[in-house]
Every structure is written in structure tokens, then in C-alpha cells.
């Protein structure tokens, strides 16, 4: 559905240096990006600020023209056939609305129906569905400017889907939302994908979105893909560690075992870190055999930590 082949985007920035003289500097927002997304896939696209996420989405939607490389969405070159592309994609910008500030939600939807020339029956069907799933009924007659962020976002998502796009781009759809709204949005996306088989590309800073929605995640940093695969693989790549919290009968010197190290002690309680790839069972038996073990528990690494480590490693991982 989405084919990106060695795509780069370079901006020329003019900087004011001494006095009135200006110097030109090239900024490589995205360089040598290659990936493909199959129809019906839901892919998380993450990376630190300024990594090139939004630039990628803007190239995929045809807003920006790539400096080099080939890029097609549903067989269409977005920059060349931007207007035709627009009929087949839906875009949600978390940071700004695509609705009309002064119009009630209902009128915004009606306007979109005409802009996208959605058949009346299909429009009715979609509207009823989205109103039900996103709980929009009480909001339909409220002007968009009076909606809360969470309400507006639900409206925006419905608006992006009125014309049944093949591909949906979500640029930080849960930014600034409270937990309840986030859960609603996630549930909706899950159903949408199961129901209509919409291909979804999602950028976010909330990794829970990814954990709950995406089987595949792509990590971009400094304009390059540093990871593309499943969530479990991400843990390995980030060399993340699980933590075993051990409660002993009494205060003891730090536990000495193979393949684990003590990272913290507090009285009889000790924290041991060991690689995610290793099994916990031999470790537990070793400790139980040599120490007066009272209790233990194991904590999985937080995905935030994994990603943070990946960002730090940065281009080292990217060959």
C-alpha cells in the first residue's frame, strides 16, 4: 500500500550571520528512507522531536515534494497527483484541526461530504457509525471552537474517515488527551482496522498507543530508520534489561550470580538487572540455592526506557 524507496528531503535554511550577509545551510530532514507497508497493516512510527516523522507524513500526503527517491501510496505518486491522492487518504493532525472553527461539527461533516463527493447513502452510514462509536451525538451541533481537545480530536478522526480512505495517517492523535479519551480513540482505531481493513500509519509520543495498537513499529532518528519490526525485537535491540526484585530474610551483601548484577539495595531488598533475552528460571534457582530467599518479583522493562536507550544509541545502530 505504501512504498518508500530511498527517499530524502533536504531543506535549505538561510541563516543571518554577520550583519546583513546570509549563509545557506542544508538540513537533511530525512535521508535514504526505505520501507513499505502492506494493505491493512497498522504501523507505529516513532522517533524523538525533529527526527523526520512529520516530514515523512507530509511527503506521503503530497504536502511536501521529496528531494530525491521514489514514493507511492496505493500506486499513486502523492506529490505529482496530490488532488487524486487526497481522495484516497485521511489525515489527522493532532496539533491542528482540519475542521472549520466556526461551524458546528455536523456542518463540517456536511461540507466534507461535498468536498469529497461522498454518496449520500454511504455518508449517512458512516456518520451514524462514527457518531455511535466516537460518542459524537451530543457534540454535533456545537461549533468546533467550543469543543474540548478530546472532543475535537474525535471529531477530527471522524472527519478524516468520512470518505472511506484506503490509508489513514495519524500524526500524534492522542497528544494532550486524557486517559478516557485516549482509550476511546484507541478502541475506535482497533475496530476501524478490523472492520474496513484501513491501512494506518500512526506517529506518537505515547508508547502505550503503540503497545496497544501496532504489531509493527518503525523508529526514526536523525532522518534514518533505526528500527523496523515487532515490539519484542525492539527490546532486544535496545538491549533492555528486566529487573528482579529479591526480598531476602535478612540484610546481606549484594548477591553474586552469573548473568545478573545488583543495581540497588535497600535493607533486605535487592534489585537485580538481567538481559531480556535470558530466562529468569536459572537465576531464581541459583539465588534460592545460595541465599535465604523470602520473596521475589520480576519487572518488565518499560518501553519508554527501551526507546530512550535506542535514541541515545542513535545512528550507531543505523549501520
In angstroms, rounded to a whole number, what is the distance separating the alpha carbons of residues 12 and 17?
15
Selected range binding another protein among 79-87, 222-230, 271-279, 308-316, rule: CB under 8 A: 79-87
Q: Out of 50, 119, 197, 230, which residue is the one contacting another protein (CB under 8 A)? A: 50
Q: Please, which of residues 9-38 interact with another protein by CB under 8 A?
A: 11
Can residue 54 be called a binding residue for another protein (CB under 8 A)? yes
Spatial strand order in the sheet of 241-248: 261-266, 269-275, 241-248, 293-299
In angstroms, rounded to a whole number, what is the distance separating the alpha carbons of residues 118 and 163?
6
Spatial strand order in the sheet of 68-73: 22-37, 2-16, 68-73
Nearest Cα residue to 106 out of 133, 134, 135, 142: 142
DSSP 223: T
Q: How far is the CB of 54 from another protein (least distance, A)?
A: 6
Can residue 116 be called a binding residue for another protein (CB under 8 A)? yes
Q: How far is the CB of 179 from another protein (least distance, A)?
A: 23
- The dihedral built from the CA positions of residue 6, 11, 17 and 20, taken in this order, carries a sign that is positive
Q: Out of 16, 21, 96, 319, which residue is the one contacting another protein (CB under 8 A)? A: 96
Q: Out of 87, 106, 190, 205, which residue is the one contacting another protein (CB under 8 A)? A: 87
In angstroms, rounded to a whole number, what is the distance separating the alpha carbons of residues 274 and 233?
17
Can residue 292 be called a binding residue for another protein (CB under 8 A)? no
Can residue 84 be called a binding residue for another protein (CB under 8 A)? yes
Footprint of another protein (CB under 8 A)? 11, 50, 54, 58, 61-65, 79, 82-84, 86-87, 89, 91, 93, 95-96, 98, 102, 115-116
Amino acid at each position: 500500500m505504501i512504498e518508500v524507496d530511498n527517499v530524502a528531503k533536504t531543506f535549505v535554511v538561510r541563516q543571518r550571520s554577520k550583519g546583513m550577509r546570509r549563509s545557506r545551510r542544508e538540513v537533511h530532514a530525512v535521508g535514504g528512507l526505505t520501507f513499505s507497508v502492506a494493505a491493512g497493516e497498522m504501523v507505529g512510527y516513532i522517533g524523538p522531536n525533529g527526527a523526520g516523522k512529520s516530514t515523512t507524513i507530509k511527503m506521503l500526503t503530497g504536502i511536501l515534494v521529496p528531494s530525491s527517491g521514489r514514493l507511492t501510496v496505493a500506486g499513486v505518486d502523492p506529490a505529482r497527483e496530490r488532488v487524486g491522492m487526497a481522495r484516497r487518504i485521511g489525515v489527522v493532525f493532532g496539533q491542528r484541526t482540519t475542521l472549520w472553527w466556526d461551524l458546528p461539527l455536523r456542518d463540517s461533516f456536511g461540507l466534507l461530504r461535498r468536498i469529497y463527493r461522498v454518496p449520500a447513502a454511504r455518508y449517512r452510514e458512516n456518520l451514524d457509525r462514527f457518531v455511535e462509536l466516537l460518542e459524537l451525538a451530543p457534540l454535533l451541533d456545537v461549533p468546533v471552537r467550543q469543543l474540548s481537545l478530546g472532543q475535537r480530536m474525535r471529531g477530527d478522526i471522524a472527519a478524516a474517515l468520512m470518505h472511506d480512505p484506503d490509508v489513514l495517517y495519524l500524526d500524534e492523535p492522542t497528544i494532550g488527551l486524557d486517559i478516557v479519551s485516549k482509550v476511546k480513540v484507541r478502541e475506535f482505531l482497533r475496530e476501524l482496522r478490523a472492520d474496513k481493513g484501513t491501512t494506518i500509519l500512526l506517529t506518537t509520543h505515547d508508547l502505550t498507543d503503540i503497545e496497544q495498537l501496532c504489531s509493527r513499529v518503525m523508529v526514526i532518528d536523525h532522518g534514518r530508520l533505526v528500527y523496523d519490526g515487532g515490539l519484542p525485537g525492539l527490546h532486544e535491540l535496545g538491549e533492555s534489561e528486566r529487573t528482579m526484585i529479591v526480598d531476602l530474610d535478612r540484610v546481606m551483601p549484594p548477591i553474586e550470580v552469573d548473568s545478573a548484577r545488583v543495581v540497588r539495595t535497600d535493607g533486605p531488598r535487592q534489585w537485580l538487572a538481567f538481559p531480556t533475552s535470558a530466562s529468569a528460571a536459572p537465576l531464581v534457582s541459583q539465588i534460592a540455592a545460595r541465599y535465604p530467599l523470602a520473596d521475589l518479583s520480576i519487572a518488565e522493562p518499560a518501553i519508554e526506557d527501551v526507546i530512550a536507550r535506542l535514541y541515545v544509541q542513535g545512528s550507531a545502530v543505523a549501520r
